[in-house]
Structure 1
Amino acid sequence: MYLLSTVVASLAVFFLLKWMKKRRYCTDVKRLDGKTVLITGGSSGIGKETAVALAMRGARVVIACRDADRAEKAVREIKSRSRNLAVVCMELDLANLRSVRNFCKSFLQKEKRLDILINNAAMPAILDWTDDGFSMCLGVNHLGHFLLTNLLLGRLKECAPSRVVTLTCSSYKYQKLDFQDLNYNLLPFFTYCRSKLANVYFSHELGRLTQGKGVTSYAVHPGFVQSEWTCHYSFLFRAVMRVLMWMFSVSCEAGAQTVVYCAVSDEAAIHGGGYFVDCRAATLRPFARDAGVAKKLWEASERLVKLA
Structure 2
Amino acid sequence: MQARNKKSLITAGTGGIGLETALGLARAGHAVTVVGRDGGRGEAAVARLESEVPGAEVRFVQADMSSIKEVSALGASITAEGPLDVLVNNVGGMYVDRLETADGIERSLMLNHIAPMILTDALIGVLTRAAPSRIVNITSAAISASSMDFADIDDAGPYYGMAVTGRAKAMHLVHTNDLAEKLKVNGISVIAVDPGGAATSNAAEMKVEMLPPSFRPYWDVISAGVQGSAADAAQSVVFAATDPSLDGRTGVEVGSDCTVGMALASQIDSDSTAAARRLTERLRALWVDAADH
Question: Matches of residues 57-68 of structure 1 in structure 2 within 5 Å?
Answer: 57-68=28-39
Shift of 1:165: 0.4
2:151–2:279 contact (8 Å) kept in structure 1: no
Q: For the residues of structure 2 that align with 1:233 and 1:250, how far apart are their CA atoms?
A: 15
Is the alpha carbon distance of 1:271 and 1:170 closer, same or farther for their aligned partners in structure 2, counting shifts above 3 Å?
farther
What is the aligned partner in structure 2 of residue 223 from structure 1? 196
Normalising by structure 1, report the TM-score.
0.80
Q: Between 268-277 and 258-267, report the one with greater CA deviation.
A: 268-277
Shift of 1:202: 2.0
**Does residue 155 of structure 1 match 2:126?**
yes
Question: Matches of residues 26-37 of structure 1 in structure 2 within 5 Å?
Answer: 34-37=5-8
Question: Of the candidates 18, 28, 38, which is equivalent to residue 9 of structure 2?
Answer: 38
Q: For the residues of structure 1 that align with 2:22 and 2:55, how far apart are their CA atoms?
A: 11
What is the aligned partner in structure 1 of residue 94 from structure 2? 124
Shift of 1:286: 3.4
Q: For the residues of structure 1 that align with 2:22 and 2:123, how far apart are their CA atoms?
A: 19
**1:200-243 CA distances to partner (integer Å, 9 max, x unpaired)?**
11211110110221011111111111111046568xx9xxx999
- Which segments of structure 1 move beyond 6 Å, counting only runs of 4 or more? 241-244
2:147–2:163 contact (8 Å) kept in structure 1: no
Question: Of the candidates 279, 286, 301, which is equivalent to residue 258 of structure 2?
Answer: 279
Aligned residues: 271
What is the aligned partner in structure 2 of residue 213 from structure 1? 186
Question: Of the candidates 65, 85, 98, which is equivalent to residue 94 of structure 1?
Answer: 65
Is the alpha carbon distance of 1:264 and 1:294 closer, same or farther for their aligned partners in structure 2, counting shifts above 3 Å?
farther
Runs (5+) with no aligned partner, structure 1? 1-31
Q: For the residues of structure 1 that align with 2:68 and 2:139, how far apart are their CA atoms?
A: 21
2:32–2:59 contact (8 Å) kept in structure 1: yes
Question: Matches of residues 166-177 of structure 1 in structure 2 within 5 Å?
Answer: 166-177=137-148
Question: Matches of residues 1-308 of structure 1 in structure 2 within 5 Å?
Answer: 34-109=5-80, 111-126=81-96, 127-184=98-155, 186-230=159-203, 232=205, 249-269=227-247, 271-277=249-255, 278-282=257-261, 283-284=263-264, 286-288=266-268, 290=270, 292-293=274-275, 295-307=277-289
What is the aligned partner in structure 1 of residue 215 from structure 2? none
Shift of 1:193: 1.2
SS at match of 1:144: helix
Q: For the residues of structure 2 that align with 1:106 and 1:46, how far apart are their CA atoms?
A: 25
Runs (5+) with no aligned partner, structure 2? 211-218
* RMSD (CA atoms): 2.6
1:201–1:289 contact (8 Å) kept in structure 2: no
Greater radius of gyration (CA): 1
Q: For the residues of structure 1 that align with 2:51 and 2:276, how far apart are their CA atoms?
A: 41
Q: For the residues of structure 2 that align with 1:50 and 1:166, how far apart are their CA atoms?
A: 13
Shift of 1:43: 0.3
2:197–2:225 contact (8 Å) kept in structure 1: no
Shift of 1:249: 2.8
1:227–1:252 contact (8 Å) kept in structure 2: yes
Shift of 1:271: 4.1
Is the alpha carbon distance of 1:242 and 1:69 closer, same or farther for their aligned partners in structure 2, counting shifts above 3 Å?
farther
2:150–2:276 contact (8 Å) kept in structure 1: no
Is the alpha carbon distance of 1:47 and 1:33 closer, same or farther for their aligned partners in structure 2, counting shifts above 3 Å?
farther
Normalising by structure 2, report the TM-score.
0.84
Q: For the residues of structure 2 that align with 1:252 and 1:166, how far apart are their CA atoms?
A: 17
Q: Between 215-224 and 264-273, report the one with greater CA deviation.
A: 264-273
Is the alpha carbon distance of 1:105 and 1:150 closer, same or farther for their aligned partners in structure 2, counting shifts above 3 Å?
same
* Amino acid across the alignment from 1:216: S
Q: For the residues of structure 2 that align with 1:244 and 1:188, how far apart are their CA atoms?
A: 14
